[in-house]
Amino acid sequence: MQMTKIEVLYPETCNLFGDMFNIKLLEQSIKDVEIINTNFTDEPAFVTQNVDMIYLAPMTERTQEEVIKKLEPYKARLEELINKNTVMLFTGNAFEILGKYIENEDGSKVQGLGIMDLYSKRDMMHRYSKMYLGEMEIEKGKKIKILGFKAQFSMTYGDNQEYYAFETIRGDGINKENKFEGIRLNNCFGTYILGPILVNNPFFAKYILRLLNVKDTIEFEDIAIENYQRRLEEFENPATKYE
């Protein structure tokens, strides 16, 4: 059986909310898998190897700027892999690096990779924290519900209506005036949802496994789905406060 290669970018610094449990779930669910942990001093494996998935988790704003510098030389390669339908998952503020720029409060701008036609703005004096419920179309006529939590100092702007990840049911999208959450470019997903999104959303995890062309059974699937259904009831309850 062919080995599935999953590259985790900069786990020593991009790991703020228990995000590595996403990788732990995939590692336990895929029979033949190699997890490549790429540290800050390493050249990314995707530059010279054919990896099946790339994962980048949330980071501090300072680290965000360093990550952009690290990945800028490989922008063309990332675009090539996106066009080849390589699975990618960017959670929290990680997906902002794919945009045109990130604007600070003083108006200065940190140039992004420019892979998506969006930009982000920071507001370090005001943390946005909110629950989120949305839905995602995984095939024509079939949708799954996505739930999670957001905590961030920045929001993203521009028109993502043609390539959003999730359509919002409750909560906000990439900003307070936008109902489309995150981005999806082929099999590249970006979302402000934090932490173990795959653990909390087993049907999304199963979808990722199918995109990786492996058996779509996750570890402890029955328990995961039971817990998901319990959380979903809470998220769908009109009495539940999202802030």
* Each residue's pLDDT tens digit, 51-69: 999 999 999 999 999 999 9
For 103, the enclosing helix (H) or strand (E) is strand 101-103
Query: Are 133 and 169 a contacting pair, CB within 8 Å?
Result: yes
For the entire predicted model, the pTM comes to 0.96
142 confidence band (pLDDT: 50, 70, 90): very high
pLDDT over 70 (residue 1): no
User: Which residue has tokens 């940190």?
Assistant: 110
Query: Are 40 and 70 a contacting pair, CB within 8 Å?
Result: yes
pLDDT over 80 (residue 180): yes
Question: What whole-number distance in Å separates Cα of residue 190 and Cα of residue 197?
Answer: 11
Q: Check residue 2 and give its pLDDT.
A: 86
**Residue extents of the structural domains in the chain:** 4-236
> For 4-236, CATH number?
3.40.50.880
pLDDT over 70 (residue 115): yes
pLDDT tens-digit map of 197-217: 999 999 999 999 999 999 999
Q: Check residue 112 and give its pLDDT.
A: 99
User: Which residue has tokens 């959450």?
Assistant: 181
